[in-house]
């Protein structure tokens, strides 16, 4: 597990769902946590969060979607090929 700021994790892992455990809040309400799981599937990420919260062994658990910085034009994704 890698401990990092969740804002940075969202940029580092685009188009991935990030499950973080042992989440704490630092200055200016920045969330820090240990990256537990990366998956492209939203349902898998939320299912894992439910399991971890029920077990209670990993502290606070959070899920976040990676930031997609692909340019958009009029609501459509732009593909440069």
Q: Coil, strand or helix: which one is 38?
A: strand
The pTM score is 0.77
**Could you tell me if 9 and 20 are in contact, meaning their C-beta atoms sit under 8 angstroms apart?**
yes
Note the pLDDT tens digit of each residue in 13-57: 888 999 999 999 888 888 999 999 999 999 999 999 999 999 988
pLDDT at position 80: 55
* Helix extents (H) in 1-81: 6-12, 42-55
Domain ranges of the chain: 2-77
């Amino acid at each position: 597990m890698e401990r990092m700021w969740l804002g940075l994790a969202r940029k580092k892992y685009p188009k991935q769902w990030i499950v973080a455990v042992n989440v704490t809040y630092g200055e200016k309400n920045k969330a820090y946590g240990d990256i537990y799981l990366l998956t492209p599937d939203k349902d898998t990420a939320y299912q894992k969060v439910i399991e971890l919260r029920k077990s209670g062994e990993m502290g606070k658990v959070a899920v976040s979607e990676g930031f997609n910085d692909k340019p958009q034009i009029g609501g459509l994704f732009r593909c440069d090929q």
